[in-house]
Amino acid sequence: MMGIWDLFGAGGIGTLLFTFTTLERIIPDQLLFTIKRFFQNLLNFFNRYIEITFEEFPSESYGRNKAYAAIETYLGTNFSHHAESLKANIPQGTRCVALSMDDYEEVFDVYKGVKVSWTRSKSFPRSNVISFNGAQDEERRYYVLSFRRKHRDIIIGSYLSHVLSEGKSIAKRNRQQRLYTNVSGRDDWEDDEKKMWRHVTFEHPATFNTLAMDPNKKKDIMDDLIEFTKSKEYYRQIGKPWKRGYLLYGPPGTGKSTMIAAMANFLNYDIYDLELTAVKDNTHLRKAIVVIEDIDCSNGITRKRRTDNITTDDEEDNLKEAVLAKKAKGDDDSDDEDNKSKVTLSGLLNFMDGLWSASGGERVFVFTTNYVEKLDPALIRRGRMDKHIEMSYCCFEAFKVLANNYLKLESHEKFDKIKGLLEETDISPADIAENLMPKSPEMSPDECLGNVITALHKAKEKAEKNRKAKNLDADKEYNKCAEKRRSKVLRRLNTRMIRRIFS
């Protein structure tokens, strides 16, 4: 009888193929299907492993397979020390060297006690036809995941989603952040959306560690941000866009812009710094935003102040306070017409609540202002600006962070004196930082702290002078208003008396 080797050796492949083709023709379809199933089951019985292939450019879809990219990142990060041969590159838009397994390398992963193997391979398509997914490379790369049949549920049920989500979040962490700003005076925005934004690499060094503020407040903000980033499912369930608004308010130099940089670094988000005065009208607002600095400086966004219209007697007591407040804020009537943005409050609100913010992933809106009381309540109500954060003058805890940042000091004999002065004086962290910074390499930490004490004394004296001057001004203003009111009342009385006399 002819053996199998004789069959192959004697050009038997042709005979075998001919036999199968002939059998396929003469055997009815139903029977053929049963035979095939029998052989498949027989094979499965002996083969205790399952293999899943992830192609880089699957022929049935357009573009690079996202699963392939996530697997590559996951394996490159977690198993680079196991693989014998690796490939390295810096992908566009990232800041780290990305390692990936070389072809035909195999690594083993263990998930919930189950061992799986990953192999990277490549194949060469027989034709030179360029597929419609854009993969022109002759080589087709793919990863093969192999595991025991009995672990099918755990691998398909949860391991695969674990690998994909890990891979995606590693890629997100390695991404180079960008700072986008909108360009003013362009007429061709509609033609090319990309021209609207200019971007630079965002490399601000601020972090929550270096941010000087009350530690409890800082922790509260960090917890809030973490909670937000984890709440995708929650927002979906309650039917709200996945966005959160923060309003940072406080005097100049208290760290509002620094906080934005710290937030962006903490979350690894890009920043869209929207300059409202560069926005021509509301239609452009749908396109992107994260940050609007100094929101009070945009016309139409501030509320109409009522201090000019005080008329009733009850409001007389508030008059002095209102006059003081108005003076402190400066007069917004003097805004330069040319600098006014064409964006209206309702345009901004529509944008914030609108579809654009719901269509993307998570969005954090941050508005900053020096004058929170000038803003229209509709703009900053909870739900739009979910968290209102006051950035206040430097307290002792904040000073300690700055002393550590600038001088690497955790304690010093001058700290007590500084603590006392900080409790009596309002000074911004920016002013403290400026004085803590050594002006020359020879300057000692002791001298820098001396500069801080001098600055605190000066700030205290200045505040005292300002307070006296303000009181004087307010008294004058108050007397003037009271005089006006008295003559008004007298005029009214006279009119009434005259009417009575003639009636």
Neighbours of 37 (CB within 10 A): 10
- The encoded tokens of residue 496 equal 């009434």
3-class secondary structure, 464? helix
Q: Among residues 73 and 341, whose Cβ is nearest to Mg ion?
A: 341
Strands 271-273 and 178-182: parallel
Q: Is 391 a residue that touches ligand ATP (CB under 6 A)?
A: yes
Q: Is 76 a residue that touches ligand ATP (CB under 6 A)?
A: no
Q: Is 151 a residue that touches ligand ATP (CB under 6 A)?
A: no
Neighbours of 254 (CB within 10 A): 25
Q: Of residues 212, 291, 409, 436, which one binds ligand ATP by CB under 6 A?
A: 212
Give the integer Cα–Cα distance in Å for 218 and 211.
Answer: 8
- Comparing CA positions, the residue from 426, 391, 397, 146 lying closest to residue 293 is 391
Of the chain, the end-to-end C-alpha distance in Å amounts to 143
Q: Among residues 120 and 256, whose Cβ is nearest to ligand ATP?
A: 256
Q: Among residues 171 and 366, whose Cβ is nearest to Mg ion?
A: 366
Q: Of residues 253, 348, 407, 427, which one binds ligand ATP by CB under 6 A?
A: 253
Among ligand ATP, Mg ion, none, the one that 370 touches (CB under a kind-dependent 5 to 8 A) is ligand ATP
Q: Of residues 100, 257, 302, 357, which one binds ligand ATP by CB under 6 A?
A: 257
Report which DSSP code applies to 156. I
Q: Is 430 a residue that touches ligand ATP (CB under 6 A)?
A: yes
Give the long-range contacts of residues 403-406, CB within 8 A, separation 24 or more: 403/436, 403/449, 405/210, 405/212, 405/433, 405/436, 406/433, 406/436, 406/437, 406/438, 406/448
Q: Which residues pair with 13 in a beta bridge?
A: none
Give the footprint of Mg ion on residues 232-271 (CB under 5 A).
256-257
Q: Of residues 213, 323, 375, 385, which one binds ligand ATP by CB under 6 A?
A: 213
The footprint of ligand ATP on this chain (CB under 6 A) covers a number of residues equal to 15
Q: Is 218 a residue that touches ligand ATP (CB under 6 A)?
A: no
Among Mg ion, ligand ATP, none, the one that 135 touches (CB under a kind-dependent 5 to 8 A) is none
In the bound complex, what is the minimum distance in angstroms from residue 405's beta carbon to ligand ATP? 7
Q: Rounded to 5 degrees, what are φ and ψ at 109?
A: -120, 150
Only segment of 130-138, 252-260, 334-342, 410-418 that touches ligand ATP (CB under 6 A): 252-260
- CA 7 from chain centre, in angstroms, equals 68
In the bound complex, what is the minimum distance in angstroms from residue 269's beta carbon to Mg ion? 18
Q: Rounded to 5 degrees, what are φ and ψ at 23?
A: -60, -45
Scanning the structure block, which residue is given the tokens 């929650």?
234
Among ligand ATP, Mg ion, none, the one that 429 touches (CB under a kind-dependent 5 to 8 A) is ligand ATP
Q: Among residues 251 and 445, whose Cβ is nearest to ligand ATP?
A: 251
In the bound complex, what is the minimum distance in angstroms from residue 372's beta carbon to ligand ATP? 12
> Which positions touch ligand ATP (CB under 6 A)?
211-213, 252-258, 370, 391, 429-430, 433
